Structure 1
Amino acid sequence: MSECLQFDVTNIWEYKQSRIAAAAALRSLVTFPAPSKTCLITPLTVQLYTTRMNTYLTSLAALNNQYYTTSMGAAASTYVLSLISSFAKSGVGVSLFDHSWRQSSIIAKIPSTVAWAPVTILGAHMDSVNLSSSSSGLGALRYDGDGSGTVSLIEIFRVLRANASASIELHCSGKKAGLLGSQDIAAAYDADGVKVKAFMGLDMTAYFKPGSVEVIELEGDYIDARLNS
């Protein structure tokens, strides 16, 4: 089941309006060639281990309220940062992206061998919310949404950091309160002139109903249909 995404544009409405025309112009310049690197990707998939992801998720779930304003939400950032940093090799940048609230985002950058190559971003949201009591309620880490996407991202980074030559970034950010974390980063990247080729978010990557057919769902809202294709 898809969830409805709501953007909190309180602080960036005027900025977003000023960028609509520029975004439309840039969109027309982007092309997405047919996938051609299967022979390179397939050998990497055997290096991904669900046992590792289960271990990451157990530790992450011990921080049982990861709402973006809480101390545990901030601790989740630190934990994810420490894991990704432990896998990074020379030349790979891993850092916190601070916001005006307690939970930071994490950005890991695998540089390209080609200078100024456009960036491909893989992302997941690590914040969660207990709808009964968002800031003090327990059990606000939902294992699947999106603890599963977060640990998938960590494990993907562990494999890619030793094998990728393209310009790839991994972002772990905030979503539940209105995509505040990702909007902060997007605005900063736009201001800095960062060229982003594509973004794929990983959300609810673990669970499917027993007895049902396992599927991968591609969202259609606010996404270039050519990229989905």
Structure 2
Amino acid sequence: MKKTTPLLAALGLSLAALSSASLAGEKIWISLGDAALAQLQKHSESARPRLSVRSGLSRSGEFSAASSARRPGLSSGAASTAAAAQLESIHLVQIDEDLLGQLSDSIHEELRRCGGYMFHASLEDGLATLQAHSSEAAKTGGTLGAATGAAAAGRASGPSRPSYVIDQQARVTPMLAQMQASRIGQTIVDLSSFTNRFYKTSSGVAASNWIKQQWANLGAGRSDFSVVQFNHPNWAQKSVIATIKGSDNSREVIVLGAHMDSINGSNTTETTVAPGADDDASGVASLTEILRTLMANNYKPRRTIQFMAYAAEEVGLRGSQEIAKSHKRLGANVVGVMQLDMTNYKGSPKDIYIYTDYTDAAQNQFVNNLIQTYQPELSIGTDVCGYGCSDHASWTAQGYAASMPFEAAFNQDNPKIHTANDTYANTGSQADHSLKFARLGLSYAVELGSDGPGSSVPSDKVEVLKGRLATGASQVLGPFKAKAGAFKASTIGEGDIDLYVKVGAAPTTSSFDCKSDGSTSVENCAINLNGNSEVYVLLKGYAAGTYKLTVSYQP
């Protein structure tokens, strides 16, 4: 029996047909944003999206309820065509695996950043990622979340929310004073001494083993501490996970991560030199110093804290995706994730940049508050890095709150990454900049780790409505009686049906608070309600088709 996912149904395609096509010529599936897609198409004109969804996030990192991909004009009473044009789309593309190296090179050289795409083990996996972004397009405050259960009927719930109260100064302040840049620097030197740490090479495997042993040594003798390697079935390098089990609140989990792998250009082999001192030995070294300091002070958290050195970040966030999906599948209550990817190159005037796209706004504010509390001498900036730029995106895609503090502004990061010149010497043979991030990570771990149970995230009511519209026909649905919070609406189906949302009255095609009008029936809208509201949805048949409308809100 053939089965199709809702998004495949919208395209009129069967999974079996597309899966057979993917077997030829080492074809793989990736998802990527607009800028990365443009770079890919420079290398392969045939690389065309199988499916695209709007993220609800502008390329500047600001949340927008408006989108207008097909027809010009205003997207809302307050949004201009220019603003709408800046909305980022996420694209699912099948390509030859050999193109990944060229794509990574172009993203690095032309866009001045790492990452930029997510690898998907199958077509169905990629469709699930895009469908999550389509149905859970945006949370308020410039973030984008993707809870996998949002399209199901009933009530959706997510991980617990910490209070974000900062009250552990008596614990944190003495530990911060004990942290040493020289120790971070030595770990960077040790990790960058491997020929490379590529996910397929023997030295990449050796680096994983080395990290496991170093972390195990730090917690030797602690019955609440363990270190394991997370096996990835399709490549040799294993991720490393160190766990300090919480005492009375161990079911709630805090994750601090960095990636262990390194890369040099488009063809990293056994003999290719890729020291990856900044990218991302500096992040792993920062985690190591956090862990060392916690162990030296016999710190015992109430919540469980996990330190993760991910494999295969440089080739589509593969390691962190598998781990985040595993946590989601097992029902892990991950209350917060911090990613440290490149911490030792000060390329911008400010000290720490908090990246605001594909991260969590509430947690980002908490991170900002931590810096102001514990390192008030530091200056703080914000920036965006685009879709799939580092491992935090893997956790965001599973509905977890993630943040990424970074070493520099988007276009001012280390120019030597992904080359043989990404060395400790080329960051001045010192780790003073990394120490700032290690101290931030420790304050994050202890402030969250010392708390009791967080508050449950209020469950959204989810309603699913189905129907069919002829060309030019329309259907008004509602009112949906919602409390303050996010109201989200999304559609999938066949044909071309547009989506409009308005508070207080039925929308029209010229009067609305949000619209989504792409060239298919895959649409999404999200608005923020300041109080009790009646919300209406208009579906308009630009071309005849079927729809499945999913709305979620606080009842």
TM-score w.r.t. length of structure 1 = 0.89
* Separation in structure 2 between the aligned mates of residue 177 and residue 9 of structure 1, nearest angstrom: 11
Q: Where do 4+ consecutive residues of structure 1 move more than 6 Å? A: none
* Separation in structure 2 between the aligned mates of residue 163 and residue 20 of structure 1, nearest angstrom: 33
Deviation at 1:35, TM superposition (A): 2.6
Q: Is 1:124 the counterpart of 2:251 in the alignment?
A: no
**Could you say what secondary structure the match of 1:206 adopts?**
coil
CA RMSD, aligned part only?
Answer: 2.3
Q: Is 1:83 the counterpart of 2:196 in the alignment?
A: no
* Greater relative CO, 1 or 2 (CA 8 Å, sep 6+): 1
* Separation in structure 2 between the aligned mates of residue 129 and residue 32 of structure 1, nearest angstrom: 39
User: Residue in 2 aligned with 1:201?
Assistant: 339
Rg bigger for which structure?
A: 2
Deviation at 1:137, TM superposition (A): 5.3
* Separation in structure 2 between the aligned mates of residue 120 and residue 90 of structure 1, nearest angstrom: 19
* Separation in structure 1 between the aligned mates of residue 150 and residue 172 of structure 2, nearest angstrom: 31
Q: Is 1:216 the counterpart of 2:347 in the alignment?
A: no
* Separation in structure 2 between the aligned mates of residue 32 and residue 134 of structure 1, nearest angstrom: 44
User: Residue in 1 aligned with 2:118?
Assistant: 7
8 Å CA contact 1:84–1:154 kept in 2: the answer is yes
Alignment of 1:144-163 (within 5 A): 144-161=278-295, 162-163=298-299
Q: Which of the residues 171, 190, 207 maps onto 2:328? A: 190
Deviation at 1:61, TM superposition (A): 1.3
Alignment of 1:163-182 (within 5 A): 163-166=299-302, 167-174=304-311, 175-182=313-320
User: Residue in 2 aligned with 1:42?
Assistant: 173
Deviation at 1:8, TM superposition (A): 0.9
**Could you say what secondary structure the match of 1:170 adopts?**
strand
Q: Which of the residues 193, 199, 219 maps onto 1:62? A: 193
User: Residue in 2 aligned with 1:93?
Assistant: 226
Q: Which moved more, 1:143-152 or 1:27-36?
A: 27-36
Deviation at 1:23, TM superposition (A): 6.3
**Could you say what secondary structure the match of 1:102 adopts?**
coil
* Separation in structure 2 between the aligned mates of residue 111 and residue 74 of structure 1, nearest angstrom: 27
8 Å CA contact 2:189–2:277 kept in 1: the answer is no
User: Residue in 1 aligned with 2:67?
Assistant: none
Task: Report the number of matched residues.
Answer: 227
Deviation at 1:15, TM superposition (A): 5.0
**Could you say what secondary structure the match of 2:257 adopts?**
strand
* Residue identity in the other structure for 2:305: I
User: Residue in 2 aligned with 1:104?
Assistant: 238
**Could you say what secondary structure the match of 1:200 adopts?**
strand
* Separation in structure 1 between the aligned mates of residue 292 and residue 268 of structure 2, nearest angstrom: 32
Alpha-carbon displacement from aligned partner over 1:161-220 (angstroms, at most 9, x marks no partner): 3214131110000311111000111111111111100000111111214xx635111122
Alpha-carbon displacement from aligned partner over 1:57-81 (angstroms, at most 9, x marks no partner): 2221111211111111111100000
Deviation at 1:132, TM superposition (A): 4.0
8 Å CA contact 1:127–1:176 kept in 2: the answer is yes
* Separation in structure 2 between the aligned mates of residue 199 and residue 99 of structure 1, nearest angstrom: 21
* Separation in structure 1 between the aligned mates of residue 159 and residue 326 of structure 2, nearest angstrom: 22
* Separation in structure 1 between the aligned mates of residue 301 and residue 236 of structure 2, nearest angstrom: 34
* Separation in structure 1 between the aligned mates of residue 172 and residue 150 of structure 2, nearest angstrom: 31
Q: Which has the higher strand share?
A: 2
Pair 40,114 (structure 1): closer, same or farther in 2 beyond 3 Å: same
Alpha-carbon displacement from aligned partner over 1:138-183 (angstroms, at most 9, x marks no partner): 2212211111011111111111232141311100003111110001
Q: Which moved more, 1:145-154 or 1:13-22?
A: 13-22
Q: Which moved more, 1:55-64 or 1:130-139?
A: 130-139
Question: Percent of aligned positions with the same letter in both sequences?
Answer: 31
* Residue identity in the other structure for 2:309: C
Instruction: List alignment gaps of at least 5 residues for structure 1.
Output: none
Q: Which has the higher helix share?
A: 1
Q: Which moved more, 1:5-14 or 1:191-200?
A: 5-14
Q: Which moved more, 1:45-54 or 1:76-85?
A: 45-54
TM-score w.r.t. length of structure 2 = 0.39
User: Residue in 2 aligned with 1:114?
Assistant: 248
**Could you say what secondary structure the match of 2:229 adopts?**
strand
* Separation in structure 1 between the aligned mates of residue 202 and residue 160 of structure 2, nearest angstrom: 43
* Separation in structure 1 between the aligned mates of residue 300 and residue 270 of structure 2, nearest angstrom: 41
Q: Which moved more, 1:7-16 or 1:107-116?
A: 7-16
8 Å CA contact 2:197–2:263 kept in 1: the answer is yes
